[in-house]
Structure 1
């Protein structure tokens, strides 16, 4: 066995070019099979973490997914507005722990200006936990046109305590100076606080009292005031379902359970992942074929070496082990490199997607389920090496001496 291993290592060293190509092919196949599932799981975890601080989202009727992506992640156009009266009814209902208004419609350099109230900063993952949002500098707003900036919005907009700026109408930054000037509001905002990073979408937000949004958009009377959505939490779980039923029984608004939206999105992703898994198997099969071609060409090249080993007394098992040993080393190197490459690519991809989506994605987690998918290439490669190994055993040493 030692002789076979020693010979296999010497043979691989002599064919370093072929070895590198085969290892690279196996590594790329492994990374292809794992990168998308790893990134998908990062997105799922990041999205769920961002929605943990409230139980229910109340928004105008329409797409539940659109309501969530607009009012929670600030990535889409809202489904509409609901009246201040409905918000106050939710706030004052028995069993309500917290009802937080959200008002959208303006931006600064592409960062959303979000109207809300002081209850926003009292949101908690669990009732006994400390507030989810913490100030890194300054204080919570206490008057109109004051801003508490999210960590990323402050950093990328170069906002500091005392900084002033004018908001622009719309949810996206205008492309030209003329467009920005025509969309800009007259009233200036002043930064009074900066939040500590959370890794969530609020890092991109510029938070101001909801009264500011009403004033800027001319909603001067209670009858005209509107909010984009309400983040709702109840004292008891039963209260959440009662409120959802009451809201959905009317026509003005809809109640959205974030968990249900994520579950639906997960089902869609699962269907896509099933198709991707089939493609991954095809890619792994191509990698196995590459291994077979490498082993076959190496077998042809090593015929004189095999004949010499047999003439020196090496048994058929040694020759058989030589071929399988080279294959095992090659595929193991490729799979190991592929696993590292998959984690690296998914980490980079997660960072880029997180910047695009507006929340930080957790580092990729390589689970055993995914690892086994890649490790399965090792026995698959050995299976591909069986025909050349059997052929090497059957060849008479006298033909090549």
Structure 2
């Protein structure tokens, strides 16, 4: 009787229904902890990656969180505008490598149309979109990876009529000329247009002085010559309307903090590092995560305790088997190993299955979150989750010694009579 495994496997087959129930119970308890941990890490990594392109945001005084949510994650909200002259000041500031306006307020079939500059899409002379090219006219757009518009397609935005003063409305159609590579951010669902287009459809100045006679060659009732409207910087300070936000790329690390201090101290602006706002959000989410993690840990402790109590109770039913083993000459270590392996195998199987359950749960929640926000979450198992499962396995293995120690108590005669 040197190998206890045949006895353990035979016992598990005999009571397979009860063993399976315990394994599933352990798996669910462990899976909850694994899912919470993996989902929390994925949310942090995914949201931080989405904010990488936004070094410094400048907007009107108000909620820093809302400014970040609206600009970085394109969550719709009413945001106060800042004076367009601030954009001109930033463009002329030697501490600023790039200042890109961000404009909202229009959409096509639920896809937000975001106005900005070509420089924002290709910072520092970066490569063109994955397909096509960047916009070069006011009526051209670049679409995100998830926008169901093909290159060359024409569409009319929700606010596709331009009201000229004392004149009738003119239709405004936009043409898709490029598609951005997938970024795993809400911008994959966005239609990116020249900021001038957002101003144009809202009947605002377009940031440049225009030759009205050349723009309307057939008079105000004709079609405008849109190719004559210049795009991007340099802007005409006197022709700049308000903007919801400006994304600033500082010229240096020191310049970033200097600019933030300058525009935070002003009465009509606020400046935020999106990364700092995310840290604050993580702190708030961390309280909820810690609560759920604590509940998960308590659940795991209760489940392991319940398993051990169930095993102790089942020892009464196994007393005759244990008595037979002892009568056949089974040593104390053999009996101990038989019972210990029984409990340890159940807990270990449940913990490993819980690792898979937790990953699957986190993956499903991540896909649901992505379908609603377009923010891609990099779900994966890390050291924390593996350490959690290992801790459960080790704790269960140690606690399995309790029922194993009770198994050899009493005489052989008493065990056989049981």
Deviation of the 1:100 alpha carbon: 1.0
Does residue 245 of the first structure (1) align with residue 261 of the second (2)? yes
SS at match of 1:82: coil
CA distance 1:224–1:118, change in 2 (3 Å): closer
Aligned residue for 1:145?
139
Instruction: Choose 1 or 2 for highest CA Rg.
Output: 2
Deviation of the 1:223 alpha carbon: 5.7
SS at match of 2:378: coil
SS at match of 2:282: helix
Aligned residue for 1:162?
152
> Where in structure 2 are the equivalents of 1:1-400 lying within 5 Å?
2-123=2-123, 131=126, 134-153=128-147, 158-168=148-158, 186-220=171-205, 222=238, 225-367=241-383, 369-400=384-415
Aligned mates of 2:269, 2:386 — CA distance in 1: 45
Deviation of the 1:271 alpha carbon: 2.0
Structure 1 unaligned residues grouped into runs of 5+: 125-129, 171-183
Deviation of the 1:374 alpha carbon: 2.8
Higher helix share: 1
Aligned residue for 2:224?
none
| CA deviation string 1:109-155 (max 9, x = no partner) | 1111001111112237xxxxx83x751222111111211000112xx
Aligned mates of 2:391, 2:255 — CA distance in 1: 49
| CA deviation string 1:52-93 (max 9, x = no partner) | 123201111111111001011101314321122111111111
The answer on whether the counterparts of 2:36 and 2:293 sit within 8 Å (CA) in structure 1 is no
Q: Name which of structure 1's ranges 308-317 and 272-281 shifts more when overlaid on structure 2.
A: 272-281
Deviation of the 1:309 alpha carbon: 0.5
Moved over 4 A (4+): 221-224
Aligned mates of 1:377, 1:169 — CA distance in 2: 58
TM (normalized to structure 1)? 0.88
The answer on whether the counterparts of 2:332 and 2:408 sit within 8 Å (CA) in structure 1 is yes
The answer on whether the counterparts of 2:139 and 2:197 sit within 8 Å (CA) in structure 1 is yes
Aligned mates of 1:98, 1:276 — CA distance in 2: 43
Aligned mates of 1:337, 1:2 — CA distance in 2: 30
TM (normalized to structure 2)? 0.85
Aligned mates of 1:306, 1:291 — CA distance in 2: 20
The answer on whether the counterparts of 2:94 and 2:251 sit within 8 Å (CA) in structure 1 is no
Q: CA RMSD in A?
A: 2.2
SS at match of 2:99: strand
Aligned mates of 2:172, 2:70 — CA distance in 1: 25
